[in-house]
């Protein structure tokens, strides 16, 4: 039984606040307290107050809000080499309607993340926010975030963009990411605008479906639109939805491609071939029963693991890693790839 691997946390989170981001806003918002009037900087991701729901359910855990030093302490405690940090409230970034505000807020968030975390330690990596609300600005911010701030990824919201991620208007972003050798991460989070979910009245129902539903829509759009054919070196990751939905979707996409190929003229191979190419990465929960099936579809080089700290308790990730290493249905090589090799290649970590 394998007992130890140098673990890379492919998806942790910061707990950004409006008060902190305010200090980094560019003109004309810089120093203007009027930005605090009426609403928060980021839209609500779905209208559910999770803290209130936890209290109603009798759960007393208050998520931590770790600064850089606290994050480093967690990495030491969990025996993790490094983490890549994503936003919390910023998961609703794609829902912002005003492109001018989206540009300014993305720039402020990226500067804040660099100043408060990335420059503190090379063990803290960053995923940038780029404003899909203005594609030219998104390309500029992606280049700045990678070349000037040292970000290793940029986040694409699974829910919120005015067009699906396969839309041609977004292709300049994919071209820039390919040139920069930077992975783009489709991160689950927001659910507003996903019509079937808006019929549900309980958070437990929404949470069951929300993360994979947004990922399914965007993966389908990108593959059938020919994104991975047009940009053969582009790397895209799908984060925080597990991997159980992928074998189902791969089979459905292959079936539709067989019967309706003329509707996807820019897709040159079966969708499952792109999924097995090693350029599309998918998050997996370490205790997912369907992991062997996902490996059969994606191959061994595409799955990665994440702590989701501090959204999840800090004790949970090392416990999950220990149980994962004891699994009998995966090889030691597969475990090492999921915990270390795949995220290292995905993010181009040294």
How much is the mean pLDDT over the chain? 92
Instruction: Give 126's strand partners.
Output: 85
Q: What would the mean pLDDT of 20-41 be, rounded to a whole number?
A: 93
pLDDT at site 287: 96
pLDDT of residue 332: 97
- Is position 2 within any domain? no
pLDDT at 190: 62
- How far is it, in rounded angstroms, from Cα 73 to Cα 79? 10
Query: What pLDDT sits at residue 104?
Result: 98
Query: What is the pTM for the complete model shown?
Result: 0.93
Q: What percentage of the chain reaches a pLDDT higher than 90?
A: 80
Q: Which of 106-110, 213-217, 264-268, 320-324 comes out lowest in average pLDDT?
A: 213-217
Calculate mean pLDDT across residues 61-79: 92
Q: Where does the pLDDT of residue 49 fall: very low under 50, low under 70, confident under 90, or very high at 90 and above?
A: low
Q: Which of 235, 304, 230, 291 is nearest to 265 (CA)?
A: 230
Average pLDDT over residues 97-105: 97
pLDDT on residue 330: 97
Tell me what pLDDT residue 75 has.
Answer: 98
Residues whose CB falls within 8 Å of the CB of residue 349, separated by 6 or more in sequence, listed in order:
8, 82, 125, 152, 343
322 assigned to some structural domain = yes
**191 in a structural domain:** yes
pLDDT of residue 253: 97
Is the pLDDT reported for residue 1 higher than 60? no
Percentage of residues of the chain with pLDDT beyond 70: 92
Report yes or no on 20 lying in a domain.
Answer: yes
Residue 77: predicted pLDDT: 96
How many Å is the maximal CA-CA distance in the chain?
Answer: 59
- For 19, the domain range is 7-347
Q: How many residues can be counted in the chain?
A: 350
Q: Name the most confidently modeled range: 177-191, 203-217, 261-275.
A: 261-275
pLDDT higher at 157 or 2: 157
Q: What's the pLDDT score for residue 4?
A: 73
In a domain, 77, yes or no: yes
**Residue 310 preceded by cis peptide, ω within 30:** yes
Structural domain tally of the chain?
A: 1
Which whole number is the average pLDDT over 40-56? 73
Q: Can you give the pLDDT at residue 343?
A: 98
Predicted confidence band at 191 (pLDDT cuts at 50, 70, 90)? low
CATH number at residue 87: 3.20.20.140
Query: What average pLDDT does range 139-165 have in this prediction?
Result: 95
pLDDT on residue 127: 98
Confidence of residue 45 (pLDDT cuts 50, 70, 90): confident
pLDDT tens readout for residues 211-265: 778 889 999 999 999 999 999 999 999 999 999 999 999 999 999 999 999 999 9
Least confident of 93-107, 115-129, 183-197: 183-197
- pLDDT, greater one: 148 or 58: 148
Whether 52 maps to a domain, the answer reads yes
Query: 73-87, 197-211, 323-337: which range is least confident on average?
Result: 197-211
């Amino acid at each position: 039984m394998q007992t130890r691997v140098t673990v890379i946390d492919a998806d942790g989170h910061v707990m950004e606040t409006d008060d902190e981001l305010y200090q980094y806003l560019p003109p004309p918002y810089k120093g203007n307290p009027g930005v605090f009037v009426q609403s928060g900087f980021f839209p609500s991701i779905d209208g559910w107050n999770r803290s209130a729901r936890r209290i109603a359910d009798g759960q007393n855990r208050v998520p931590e809000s770790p600064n850089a030093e606290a994050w480093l302490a967690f990495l030491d405690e969990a025996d993790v080499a490094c983490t890549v940090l994503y936003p919390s409230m910023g998961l609703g970034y794609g829902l912002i309607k005003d492109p001018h505000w989206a540009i300014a807020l993305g720039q402020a968030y990226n500067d804040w993340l660099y100043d408060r975390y990335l420059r503190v330690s090379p063990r803290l990596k960053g995923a940038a926010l780029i404003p899909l609300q203005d594609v030219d600005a998104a390309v500029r911010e992606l280049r700045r975030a990678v070349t000037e701030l040292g970000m290793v990824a940029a986040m694409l919201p699974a829910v919120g963009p005015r067009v699906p991620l396969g839309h041609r208007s977004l292709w300049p972003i994919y071209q820039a990411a390919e040139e920069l050798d930077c992975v783009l991460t489709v991160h689950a989070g927001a659910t507003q605008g996903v019509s079937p979910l808006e019929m549900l009245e309980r958070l437990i129902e929404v949470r069951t479906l929300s993360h994979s539903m947004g990922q399914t829509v965007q993966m389908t759009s990108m593959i059938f639109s020919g994104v991975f054919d047009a940009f053969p070196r582009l790397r895209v990751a799908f984060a925080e939805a597990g991997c159980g939905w992928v074998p189902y979707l791969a089979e459905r996409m292959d079936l539709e491609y067989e019967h309706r190929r003329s509707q996807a003229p820019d897709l040159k191979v079966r969708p499952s071939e792109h999924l097995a190419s090693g350029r599309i990465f998918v998050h997996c929960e370490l205790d997912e029963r369907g992991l062997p099936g996902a490996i059969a579809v994606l191959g061994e080089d595409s799955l990665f693991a994440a702590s989701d700290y501090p959204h999840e308790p800090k004790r949970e990730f090392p416990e999950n890693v220990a149980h994962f290493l004891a699994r009998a249905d995966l090889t030691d090589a597969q475990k090492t790839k999921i915990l270390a090799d795949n995220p290292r290649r995905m993010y181009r970590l040294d």
